[in-house]
Structure 1
Amino acid sequence: MKTLTYVSTKSVTDLTWPETIENINLYSPALSVFTDFQTAGPRVIESNTRADELVQLMKKEHVRMKIVVDADNRFIGVISLEDLSEDVFIKQVANGFQRSELMVADLMRAKETLLALSYTSLKNSDIESLLFSQRSNKLQHLLVIDEDTKAIRGLVSSNDVARQLRLDIDVAFSCFANTYQNAVLGQKGQSSKLKVA
């Protein structure tokens, strides 16, 4: 058995924070707004979890999307707070379901219906090009796939992009289309140079 060392916190005043890139702008590397699952593990939920319980869990954890996995931790889809809205529950109950019997698998977006961005493409891009490519996307999250390993490598959140660019938008209701409107088109009057993906 090894002996552990303990130190008094009496004279400690600082906290360690994640390393951040200062002055992120539209021309910064797209990787600066990427959540890499190699360093920040994915937020997952099993497909057989009750949907109504997941709503409370996600609110408690302050997350808006989870990766859905099966019992063997294999990726099968995604679920967001939009997929768990009260309107969705009302429609399902109107279709004859009991609220308490709805599972994540019933409300998730299956992987067969999703498109993911190539990690290599993201790595060679800037934020403006990323937003331009997502200018019609009404979702808040974009999965990123590592084509070499055929695995979900991470994701990009429109909220993270908006925060990093310090945009004046309500991140509770943001999506890539709104972020594009505010970040790229909002600056179009300030700059005539617009790079396209």
Structure 2
Amino acid sequence: MKKFKLHPVSTVDELAWPDSADITTMDTPAIEFFTDFYLVQPLVLSESMTAVQARETMVRSHVRLKFVIDTDDHFVGVISSDDLIERKIVQKVAEGYGRDDIPVSELMTPKRDLMALSIEDVEKATIEDVVNVLKDYHQQHCLVVDPSTHKIRGIFSSSDISRKLKLPINIQDQSDFYRVFSAIN
């Protein structure tokens, strides 16, 4: 393991700043807010993982949505923290599942029920266009597909958007997200 030496900062007076300010507005191209899976590995869970394990994993990694894959690594759906709330787990227990045996596949949203934006449309859109989609459909996330390759190309996240726009929003509370984004439109 490499050893590092810490340096005192008592004589330092200034912060380093980028040469050009990163100014983002609602007119900024949407592609600048997009998590592109050609650049960033998607966060995935196996469809056979238990719901309890999935919830623990998502809490530890501070994410609200993961992609669900089968044993062949094919995309089969998404699971969100809202899908893994205690009430839904208890409902599955009432249906006869053991609490620690409920597979993610029982609580996930299957791909047949998902909608997405096309990468071609995203490349021509502003972030305001994407925010309006999120707001109109009451979504925290929006998938982006590449129709030419039949792949999920990436995702928009409301928390990433609000962070980049420097909006003081508590994303955990969906009503705050919609209230603030409604106010800026």
Q: If the length of structure 1 is used for normalisation, what is the TM-score?
A: 0.80
Give 3-state SS (helix, strand or coil) of 1:142's partner.
strand
Taking the aligned partners of 1:170 and 1:105, their CA distance within structure 2 comes to 29
Give 3-state SS (helix, strand or coil) of 2:76's partner.
strand
Residue of 181, 186, 192 corresponding to 2:183: 186
* Residue in 2 that maps onto 1:161: 161
Runs of 4+ aligned residues of structure 1 deviating over 3 Å after TM superposition are 6-13, 178-181
Farther off after superposition, 137-146 or 68-77: 137-146
Are the counterparts in 2 of residues 35 and 155 from structure 1 also a CA contact under 8 Å?
Answer: yes
Are the counterparts in 1 of residues 170 and 177 from structure 2 also a CA contact under 8 Å?
Answer: no
* Residue in 1 that maps onto 2:5: 10
Taking the aligned partners of 1:96 and 1:89, their CA distance within structure 2 comes to 11
Are the counterparts in 2 of residues 135 and 181 from structure 1 also a CA contact under 8 Å?
Answer: no
Percentage of matched positions with identical amino acids: 33
The Cα RMSD (Å) is 2.3
Equivalent position amino acid for 1:95 in 2: E
Report the count of equivalent residues.
Answer: 174
The change in CA–CA distance for 1:102 and 1:7 in structure 2 (over 3 A counts) is: closer
* Residue in 2 that maps onto 1:116: 116
* Residue in 2 that maps onto 1:96: 96
1:1-197 equivalences in 2 (<5 Å):
9-10=4-5, 22-174=22-174, 179=177, 181-183=179-181, 185-188=182-185
Are the counterparts in 2 of residues 116 and 143 from structure 1 also a CA contact under 8 Å?
Answer: yes
Equivalent position amino acid for 2:101 in 1: E
Are the counterparts in 1 of residues 134 and 140 from structure 2 also a CA contact under 8 Å?
Answer: no
Q: Per-residue CA shift, 1:4-31, capped at 9, x if unaligned?
A: xx98743789xxxxxx981111000101
- Deviation of 1:182 after TM superposition, in Å, equals 1.4
- Deviation of 1:147 after TM superposition, in Å, equals 1.2
Are the counterparts in 2 of residues 131 and 179 from structure 1 also a CA contact under 8 Å?
Answer: no
Are the counterparts in 1 of residues 134 and 141 from structure 2 also a CA contact under 8 Å?
Answer: no
Q: Which runs of 5+ in 2 are unaligned?
A: 9-19
Q: Which runs of 5+ in 1 are unaligned?
A: 1-5, 14-19, 189-197
Give 3-state SS (helix, strand or coil) of 2:135's partner.
coil
